[in-house]
Structure 1
């Protein structure tokens, strides 16, 4: 009976952590969705984010078995800096109009940068989990599922809202990304 309670508690903890890590993907999704995005791109980007939410904590868990928690703050700062750069570029692009090339979320580089920016904190969480006994497969699958799900929800919400914002959608999305980047750094 006690073991079943512990397993339920551990599962609930992992789900809460997975949802919290997925919130980055949700906020990024809103920002990108505000810029305007096709359904096929939503599926591709969400899939890549889900995969990164599996790979990054897995790498973190293995690294956490050997490295101290010092790296956790560095990973969060890097994620914040990436979001600041992406958000700043989106704001700049929207203010310059068609003259400035927009960051292409459809390119392989764009997909990887977006996925990395929201999943790098999963690496630092993985480091912490690597210092404790955790079910590795269950943990990374939950993180991947919720990372992908939250990004789909954010992208769809941003896409729906962008229709009402028109040309200001990209600037609003940039402000959201920039704000989350600041929150990561501070």
Structure 2
């Protein structure tokens, strides 16, 4: 497999994460570049690990993972999206600024990690497919992870601009984007199977 092919796979695998990152960036309160980079690292690490897992699973049982990966991605993104929409509709609780910042940082990590996992399910399926080709899975995983790191960092910063324009509605918009990404993943897989 040529490096161009591997790079195209990396870019294709990072598009879902990019769309989700725009939603996340819109929902974050004034994310700085450091926050965007941290999100990119989380998404990139998850996106690099999942093709390795898929490759290992592909060696064991390829049809098992491919038959339901889109439902997992749809479910995780849908749940996260609905949660963000509900959070955007709720009035903000009155809590001390320090406690709110700690709670937001802790929740943000797990939210980012879960979103990263949901958007990387397709990378796991790619790993399954690559298990049957003559390709160095470590190189492919590294390229997918690096592409995702860059795309998510950019997505968060673009989402920040959207969030500054939309205010509190940004979290609702971010939730809607996650639901749309999940539905798109499900649609692509179901229409491809038909």
Same fold judged by TM-score > 0.5? yes
- Check whether the contact 2:57–2:65 (CA below 8 A) recurs between aligned residues: no
Residue of structure 2 in register with 1:63 after alignment: 57
Pair 33,110 (structure 1): closer, same or farther in 2 beyond 3 Å: same
Q: Which runs of 5+ in 2 are unaligned?
A: 94-102, 188-194
1:84 has 2:78 as partner: yes
- Check whether the contact 2:55–2:128 (CA below 8 A) recurs between aligned residues: yes
1:123 has 2:140 as partner: no
**Whole-Å Cα distance in 2 between the matches of residues 25 and 71 of structure 1?**
20
Secondary structure of 1:66's partner?
A: helix
Aligned-residue CA RMSD (Å):
2.0
**Whole-Å Cα distance in 2 between the matches of residues 12 and 177 of structure 1?**
29
- Check whether the contact 2:18–2:152 (CA below 8 A) recurs between aligned residues: yes
Alignment of structure 1 residues 17-166 onto 2, 5 Å: 17-36=9-28, 37-98=31-92, 104=104, 106-107=106-107, 108-166=109-167
TM-score for both structures, normalised by structure 2: 0.83
- Check whether the contact 2:127–2:137 (CA below 8 A) recurs between aligned residues: no
Which is further off, 53-62 or 70-79? 70-79
Secondary structure of 1:134's partner?
A: coil
Shift of 1:82: 0.7
TM-score for both structures, normalised by structure 1: 0.86
Q: Which runs of 5+ in 1 are unaligned?
A: 1-6
Pair 82,134 (structure 1): closer, same or farther in 2 beyond 3 Å: same
- Check whether the contact 2:70–2:122 (CA below 8 A) recurs between aligned residues: yes
Secondary structure of 2:60's partner?
A: coil
Q: Which runs of 4+ in 1 moved over 2 A?
A: 36-41, 103-112
- Check whether the contact 1:62–1:130 (CA below 8 A) recurs between aligned residues: yes
Shift of 1:17: 1.2
Per-residue displacement from partner, 1:20-74 (whole Å, max 9, x unpaired)? 1100110110000111234332222211111111111011112212212341241
